[in-house]
Structure 1
Amino acid sequence: MNIHDDPDDIEYQNTMKLQARQISDAQFHKFEGYAAEIFSAFGMDLNTPATKDTPRRFIKALFDSTEGYDGDPKLLRVFDTECRGEPDCRLSQVVEGPIPFFALCEHHALPFYGMAYVGYIAHENIIGISKLTRLVRLFAKRFAVQERIGQQIADSLETMLHPHGVAVFLEAHHLCMEMRGVREISPKTRTTVWRGHYADDPTLRSEFFTACGLQRNER
């Protein structure tokens, strides 16, 4: 089945079915020229075999790295459970991770990358396990901040599935901190989102981390 047609679901469907971006050949060549001008001004010799196509490759890589803006219609399909129509019925936790992701920091357009762990307490609907990976990458493959990726994943799962709870844990290295600024190599940035029963129950949060293979106690 597809997700239901209440206003929140319709907004979600519109997000999943975004019009794929189209860049004409003329636009691409214009962007390639801008990139060549910048690289040249910063000292790159664009007349070598290794670098003559770098502006083109850079623009293509940037386009590919932000394909999350195109949406993902495959995320529209969910499945009913035996709990349909039973508000107090509760199924087990569904947990997926680690899910590798790469994103571009919206402040510096530099990459940050890491692992995502996503869980929900199934109720009336479930989604295919592979779709959790698709959901993470949908919001990561954009100009983003880590905190917002977690919130967007949780918002989408709540809209799609109406679960009893949603948990999202992200940990990532940020090259905008490692390559510039304080230039700290080792730290990871960790963010969590707890919704529904996860927000109220530290035991559930600990079970989530255990299912993820992470040693962490929530009290």
Structure 2
Amino acid sequence: MHSHDDNTIDSEYLAAMKLQKRSVSAEQFSQFEGYVAEIFTAFGLDLHSPSTEETPRRFIKALYDITEGYDGDPKLVKAFETECHGDSDCRLSQIIQGPIPFYALCEHHALPFYGKVYVGYIANENIIGISKLTRLVRLFSKRFAVQERIGQEIAGLLDVMVHPTGVAVYIEAHHLCMEMRGVREEVPMTRTTVWRGAYHDDPALRSEFFTSCGLPRNG
């Protein structure tokens, strides 16, 4: 076990964070706007009106903002020591945050999927500020993504950050690629879970997690 302070981030943590600022020039943005304008026009949108003439520019800017998770989040660096230190009592103490709303773009069709995330962990030597769990969700959801991977990435980075005894992630989401196209399901809900450490080994902990989250199911 090891801890992180304000001035130290080990290579494993940085690799999991993928902390790298994107660099897109003004010339590139202008070029992309031209491509989008050509596509939208071909698909039937009239760009010669007051309400649509700036649509390609707004679309590219919105897409860039929606995928800002690729830039990382330096505010996730900080972890705190806890008084647990692996004591047996701490195995029974869950730290849970949720529902955390999220919005992401499916990497298969670049259409949105959205829903709620519940994150839980059992502390060992370190904890993080409770708001950092929301930041974790946003870090990985604000990218081109798939639901299953978001859960694995949240659990993986939380594991690297604080080395907990266990991690639980539950996600439920609507996928517009199913609601707007394809099978066109009316009210689909995709649910995924990730269990690590004590949660993987102990069905009672999984059940307690679902109960604490107010979810009508058990592990």
Q: Under TM normalisation by the shorter chain, which class is it?
A: over 0.9
Gaps of 5+ in 2: none
Q: Structure 1 pair 193/152, CA: closer, same or farther in 2 (3 Å)?
A: same
Distance, in Å, in 2 between the alignment partners of 1:53 and 1:162 is: 48
Q: Percent identity?
A: 70
AA aligned to 1:90 is C
Residue number in structure 1 paired with 2:5: 2
AA aligned to 1:178 is E
Report the Cα offset of residue 200 of structure 1.
1.1
CA deviations on 1:79-109 (whole Å, 9 max, x unpaired) are 001133x575625100000000000000000
Residues 89-100 of structure 1: matches in 2 within 5 Å?
A: 90=90, 92-100=93-101
Report the Cα offset of residue 217 of structure 1.
2.1
Q: What value does the CA root-mean-square deviation take over the aligned residues?
A: 1.8
Q: Structure 1 pair 214/203, CA: closer, same or farther in 2 (3 Å)?
A: same
Report the Cα offset of residue 17 of structure 1.
6.4
Distance, in Å, in 2 between the alignment partners of 1:215 and 1:196 is: 23
Q: Structure 1 pair 147/4, CA: closer, same or farther in 2 (3 Å)?
A: farther
Residues 4-83 of structure 1: matches in 2 within 5 Å?
A: 9-16=10-17, 18-83=19-84
Report the Cα offset of residue 15 of structure 1.
4.6
CA deviations on 1:19-63 (whole Å, 9 max, x unpaired) are 321221111100000000000010110001110000000000100
Residue number in structure 2 paired with 1:138: 139
AA aligned to 2:90 is R
| 3-state DSSP of counterpart to 1:90 | helix
Distance, in Å, in 2 between the alignment partners of 1:17 and 1:23 is: 18
Q: Name the TM-score, length of structure 1 as normaliser.
A: 0.93
Residue number in structure 1 paired with 2:199: 198
AA aligned to 2:190 is T
Q: Structure 1 pair 53/32, CA: closer, same or farther in 2 (3 Å)?
A: same
Q: Name the TM-score, length of structure 2 as normaliser.
A: 0.93
Distance, in Å, in 2 between the alignment partners of 1:76 and 1:89 is: 27
Answer with 56-65 or 87-96: which moved more.
Answer: 87-96
Report the Cα offset of residue 210 of structure 1.
1.1
